Structure 1
């Protein structure tokens, strides 16, 4: 308006509603910058002046001195900051004062200062330079990252928290995940064994954060690995390194993979019959994710990229036996205690020391190099897993304890039904039948014999008669020469009993017509 239309500053003020003095400043600043531009011989200065000419003028506040932030207040704020630093050195980082706490302390001392002034001063004092990141270039088969992720699933009708072990090679971004009940050493080791078995080789370097199953303790700035990690490293031959504290970016591939796998899998389905079903499902999801084209790899899938690095993997040895071993004393209940849960062993081992191998989903008990018990691992606390067969010697001596025993309550339903229908108040005889089933007959054979006796009359169901009928059914079995000496003796005695019972109950069957009758 001033230059092209020839309007006066007063007229421009009236048309725009802007104060005339402000318009005068704009015009004066513009003319000054144009003169400086014409006189400037430095291209950089010219660029600054051109930007100043074409951009709207900015209100300059200048460096006005703080009116209320006096030297006394600055010293008091600094005293609080020094106290915070001392607490951090003593490991009391959760007890330091925040900016609002320092402000309230100043107000309590009748210092006239605003919260915003306190914040500006503290930020100026404690301001740290922003961290710069270095983009890495990965070689095939060189680096694989590992991390845990937590998921909540309903398994067998119960909402539970599970730990998801996730592996991601840095070169191919291939994803693999497996669910466990806890973040224990045996689960950590089994996850690695399953992953290496899945990919058919071993990566040269594994990367971890400061998880407890990988880092045993901090020694100064160094991290000491756990025995479980060292065992894996020695067996498979890979190197390992740890991230810095609070530096998830140092293993950003797997950090992202945990979030992606958890969302892609369990945002759509979170209810399963068993943990095995959940693991099969997450494996299918990983296969689907690994088959998707990657924009950063010119459309190649993670599976295709992984095939490029497969030749660079270390050779795969036989699968690692991922078990934690402990020695446990058998208590008076013929159980060993593992992670606050009880597991039964044969009752003759009470007071003995047994070797227990603890896997992620089962435990095995050994005595003098012989496996004496195996159980599905319990996931809670103070739970009991009892096998009825482990207590037969004791129950034979104390038959009165049979009906109310916890071992009977945990027995298979067919065993409990058999006892309730045919052996109530005949506990000693039922224990003899269970011992017979341990050595000489299967459950199916015993059930078949009971059915035959019930056809005559339910009162005929006795252990001795069941033994006879089981022996009769085995008369067409392989020759006695192939049986053990003990089994041969049992068979001969059974045949004698069979003939006696045939005479007693007149159950001789000599022709098909008699069988029909």
Structure 2
């Protein structure tokens, strides 16, 4: 506005030319001409010159944005944003609404691709594309003491595990002071998962917070005893007694009362699985989650300018020292049926075939089942959360297969190992007895399936005509002999070596 006033004053009061004004003010002659033309058009209204000048000089200049081009938001950038919005729409149709990319995630992905663009520009384009306004919510900032409060919550995620869409549960802890986060994936929101994730969290941070905050989750609240009072579950009481912390329940439908973890569940879910949601197995998904959490804890926060790790280092000394790990499992006793399996939650788990008809003790954890007989561990199985599954190990049936070799080809035990099934069909079809002898040999010498596969590959790549059990045993036996300790010299071996040296000297 100052430039506008100088142009008009120098032109009409001082009588300077447009060229002189341009040189004196250091601006373009087009700008000088534009303001003089606007002022002259105002004089045509018939008002006195002084009145028009006063009104014109007191009005700030206006600019038209209609003809200005978009410098950063090019067509290529728009196509990238549209592709990410389309990906969000596909996730929404698949039921993955809680794993959609937000505007800040889209902006981060654009920056990772080397596209320099402002966050506001991205937000305005998406708002224009979607044609709707997002309502904003107000929050009240709280102050916390180091080591005082930690919040826990569950969140649902849907991942493709080995190509199959699987519904899983995300357990999340967030420290109120440092915003330090910890998360793990479980199959269900059950008591064992609730206890195990607490044990893992306290073991990682090396201490215990004074107060844990929960909502009205069924694994923490046993029942409501009043409008505002809840009775904790036996699992929560057991955790309280062992780790010696107090707890607090939020009011119903008041997620803001534990806003840190409420935000963390949504934040971790987006940052971990908004970009990648397909994994080969459950372990790979948990590893991906752990790496993402480590990266988030090492990222500077906007309000403090410090990372969660830096703030957590400050509150470590305020934590109560964690006691020894609490053992979390359920134990039941089951009878082994005629198929040498025990049944739990509609699924069957195998044990050694000589235990048919006997009772075994089963320790049940969230991921595994340990089976004992006479205080001796007889089997370990990964826990299945499907229905009517047979979790079988072929080693448990080798003694029965030795008596019934014809039962091998169509057995579930053989089908449970994809590698052994292919090995039998490729090289030992019709030779079930020999194949069973090979498996018994591997069990006796503690040879793993990986070691067996390595030897088989070595023999198949050699010029031998046919792969036999004897050749495999010979190679496995040679490998075992190479690992044996060297013989200790005795009197007989010493005398024999001396005689051989004397005989060699005579011959030479």
TM bin (shorter chain) = 0.5 to 0.7
Mark the CA change 1:262 to 1:425 in structure 2 (over 3 Å): closer, same or farther: same
Cα gap change, 1:368 to 1:309, in 2 (>3 Å): same
Of 385, 401, 408, 2:407 maps to 401
The reply on whether 1:269 has 2:276 as its aligned counterpart is yes
With 135-144 and 197-206 compared, the bigger mean Cα shift is at 135-144
Q: Are residues 244 and 440 of structure 1, via their aligned partners in 2, closer, same or farther at CA, if it must alter by over 3 Å?
A: same
The one-character-per-residue Cα deviations of 1:106-143 (angstroms, maximum 9, x if unpaired) are xxxxxxxxxxxxxxxxxxxxxxxxxxx99754321111
The partner residue of 1:314 within 314, 320, 334 is 320
Question: CA-to-partner distance for each residue in 1:294-348, whole Å, 9 max, x for gaps?
Answer: 4444x33333222221111111233333333332222222112233222111111
Trace 1:30-429 onto structure 2 (pairs within 5 A).
137-220=143-226, 222-297=229-304, 299-413=305-419, 415-429=420-434
Report deviation, 1:472: 5.7
> Is 2:445 the partner of 1:437?
no
SS at match of 2:315: helix
Give the SS at the match of 2:167. Answer: strand
Q: Deviation string for 1:14-60 (max 9, x for gaps)?
A: xxxxxxxxxxxxxxxxxxxxxxxxxxxxxxxxxxxxxxxxxxxxxxx
Q: C-alpha separation between the residues in 2 aligned to 1:480 and 1:393?
A: 34
Secondary structure of 1:374's aligned partner:
strand
Does the CA contact (< 8 Å) of 2:455 and 2:472 recur in 1? no
Counterpart CA distance in 1 for 2:403 and 2:391 is 22
Q: 1:279 to 1:430 in 2, by over 3 A?
A: closer
Q: Deviations over 1:405-462 (max 9, x none)?
A: 011111241x22442344333323332332222113625469749949x966638x35
Number of aligned residue pairs: give it. 346
Q: Cα deviation per residue 1:227-254 (whole Å; 9 max; x = unaligned)?
A: 3222322222222222232232322221
Counterpart in the other structure of 1:458: 466
Q: RMSD between aligned alpha carbons?
A: 3.1
- CA apart distance, 1:145: 0.7
CA gap 1:327/1:218 in 2 versus in 1, 3 angstroms = farther
Structure 2 unaligned regions, length at least 5: 1-138, 489-508
Higher Cα radius of gyration: 1
The 1-side partners of 2:197 and 2:485 are apart by 48
Structure 1 length-normalised TM: 0.60
CA deviation string 1:269-316 (max 9, x = no partner) = 22222232222323333333334444444x333332222211111112
8 Å contact kept, 1:324–1:359: yes
Q: Is the 8 A contact 1:341 1:382 kept in 2?
A: yes
Alpha-carbon distance in 1 for matches of 2:479, 2:287: 42
Q: For the structure 1 residues 469 and 191, does the alpha-carbon distance in structure 2 shift closer, same or farther, using more than 3 Å as the test? A: closer
- What TM-score does the superposition give when structure 2 sets the normalisation length? 0.61
Report deviation, 1:359: 2.6
Contact (CA 8 Å) 1:141, 1:171: kept in 2 or not?
yes
| 1:351 match: secondary structure | coil
Partner residue, 1:497: none
- Secondary structure in 1 matching 2:259: helix
Question: Which residue matches 1:500?
Answer: none
Q: Is the 8 A contact 1:446 1:466 kept in 2?
A: no
8 Å contact 1:209–1:244 — kept in the other structure?
yes
Partner of 2:123: none
Contact preservation (8 Å) 1:164, 1:178: yes
Q: CA 1:296 to 1:345, structure 2 compared with 1: closer, same or farther past 3 Å?
A: same
Q: Is residue 336–residue 358 contact of structure 2 (8 Å, CA) maintained in 1?
A: yes
Distance 1:467 1:170, change over 3 A: closer
Q: Distance in 1 between matches of 2:199 and 2:158?
A: 24
Q: Which sections of structure 1, spanning at least 5 residues, go unmatched?
A: 1-132, 483-517
